[in-house]
Amino acid sequence: MGMAASRILVKRVGVPRKPEFQEEVWVGKAVNYAAKAAQCSNRDEMWVTGSIWERLALNDYVAYTCGCPDGEPRDTLWEDVEITRLPEGDEDRYGRRLTSMWCVKHGAAFCDAILAGKTDRPDVGKAQAALRMKLVDNVIAKKRRSARQQRLARLGPR
């Protein structure tokens, strides 16, 4: 990381207007990971790490569509991504990418709800159930894939 970039990620803390009582402090892993996620994205995208997604997923206004045009909210706003600039084995490497925006009709109301601290929507029950089933299916598929790979490894090269 260059000198200019490293200065951005440092904060001076201490007594204001008294440089002798101030110290530069690295702002930490969160900022570093956010920068690496941004480096993987295009300029018009938003990517979040796995741990950030875990928090966002708890907010129905962030995690689910408004339901337009047919009135059925879905979990299609985000898709899974691998943040390749993060270390292999780090769970934050597996995050999400925002793939859509709110519609013109509901966007302002959703934004207001988020800013007001609201998190629950009564209309997302079916979408939540569908997401749970999809996650279960993903776990089962990963387990089967792992079993196949282990079986092939035992058989050895052909």
What share of the chain in percent tops pLDDT 90?
44
In angstroms, what CA-CA distances link 148 with 97, 144, 152, 154? 29, 6, 6, 10
| Of the listed ranges 40-44, 63-67, 79-83, 152-156, the one predicted with least confidence | 152-156
**Pick from 29, 2, 113: which is nearest to 64 by CA?**
113
Residue 98 and residue 55 in contact, taking contact as beta carbons nearer than 8 Å: no
CB atoms within 10 A of CB 83: 24
**Pick from 93, 98, 104: which is nearest to 44 by CA?**
98
pLDDT score for 130: 86
What are 45's two structure tokens? 């995208």
141 vs 126: which has the higher pLDDT:
126
The Cα–Cα gap between 63 and 1 comes to 33
What is the rounded average pLDDT of the residues 81-96?
92
Domain segments of the chain: what residues? 44-152
Tell me which long-range contacts 33-36 makes (C-beta under 8 A, separation of at least 24).
Answer: 33/83, 33/86, 33/92, 35/9, 36/83, 36/85, 36/86
> Residue 82, SS3?
strand
Q: What is the pLDDT of residues 115-136, one digit of tens each?
A: 999 999 999 999 988 888 887 7
What are 152's two structure tokens? 């092939």
Q: What is the pLDDT confidence band of residue 10, given thresholds at 50, 70 and 90?
A: low
